[in-house]
Amino acid sequence: GSVKQFSTKTQPCEYDSSMLCAPALLNATFTTVAFVLGALTSVLSGFLGMKIATYANARTTLEAGRGVGKAFIVAFLWICYGISSRSKWAFGAL
């Protein structure tokens, strides 16, 4: 809920005075923590995604010297690996 000022005490809500709203400082703290956790998980997932993509690219390039068919198979398998590993990480199975 919203309160009129940046307070540290529970106050009646602006939209319904019969209800009490949480202190603004508490709301600000939760918002800050959620933002920082979101930023950290975004950085981590981006880092892991780039690591997997770079490694897969190098493997595909090495296999391309042996033929286009082998390079395609390696690239396809690494795409599947990247998708499955990120989804496992996202759902907490890793």
The per-residue pLDDT for 87 is: 57
Give counts: helices (H), strands (E), the chain.
Answer: 2, 2
Encoding tokens for residue 20? 């009490």
Residue ranges in the chain whose pLDDT is less than 70: 1-7, 82-94
| 3-class SS letters over 32-68 | HHHHHHHHHHHHHHHHHHHHHHHHHHHHHHHHHCCCH
pLDDT for the residue 94: 45
pLDDT number for residue 84: 64
